Amino acid sequence: MVLTSNEKRAFFRQQCREALAAHIYDRLGLVVAPADVRLQPSVGDKYAWSVTESKKSLLQSNLGRGSVGLYKSICEELGRSLEAVTPQTLQVTQLERDHLPREEAGPARSDQEESGSFTAKIHELKCANHVLKDELDRTTIHLQGSLGENRILQANIRRLQDELDSSSSRATYLEDELVRIGSGITEAMQVLQEYQAHKGSMEYRLRYPTRCLDDIVVAYPYYLTSASVPAGGSTVKPPFWEISLRAYRNAAMIVQNTRC
């Protein structure tokens, strides 16, 4: 028997109503007559429809004026992207979509709704996502703090490295000065020893004039007895090697002038 268009619509509409009524009972335990099922129920009906964003168009029509395609789509999506929930649950879902805290979203779902409910699963995933986001925010803040501390440490390391380089350069300079001073003292001591060993020799008198070498002889014991500078002293005495070298240079100049 071939059904007319209206008969076909009436058949699938009734089939859709019965499927919706059975689904409401399975999910919420509510007995609703198929003829009383609505796609846009009121709060007093004690049930509501939760639908995914991509299937919102299924709830925009009235069951009494729907098409065969609409009835078939509703039956296919029932329990997948369309399901019955309590009005309170729907309110929670809508508030969550508006990014309100869970504490302000109303009472939790019943155990009947939680079993196999994609709405409950979405809620669970959103809660998990919020937890992960909070953890990510805390980790980001901690990381930023660590990066700030690391920058400070790096700056301190660079400063200390600069100080170390400066100290190394200073130490190298002082080592060179020590070598130079030691060489001067050694040379001055050799001159003094030769002078004392050959003080009466005419040759050494000409090479090391008595006046200059006497300065060395006099200065050396004076230098040894003046190792420390008096507290608050205003004069720093030149080291013995410097006195010796001055006298040695003076002697060399005198010898050169004498030979000329």
79-99 average pLDDT score: 79
Q: What is the DSSP letter of 227?
A: -
| Listed residue (118, 119, 113, 124) closest to 26, CA to CA | 113
- Dihedral sign from CA coordinates of 112, 115, 116, 118: positive
Torsion angles phi and psi, residue 234, rounded to 5: -105, -10
pLDDT 10s digits, 148-164? 999 999 999 999 999 99
The larger pLDDT score, comparing residue 187 to residue 121, is at 187
Query: What pLDDT shows up at residue 105?
Result: 42
- What is the C-alpha to C-alpha distance for residues 57 and 40, in angstroms, rounded to an integer? 12
216-236 average pLDDT score: 48
3: left (phi over 0), alpha (psi -120 to 50) or beta: beta
170-194 average pLDDT score: 86
Query: What pLDDT shows up at residue 68?
Result: 94
The larger pLDDT score, comparing residue 221 to residue 169, is at 169
Sequence ranges of the domains in the chain: 5-85
| DSSP-derived 3-state class of residue 84 | strand
Whether the per-residue pLDDT at 230 is higher than 50: the answer is: no
Name the residue with tokens 């964003």.
53
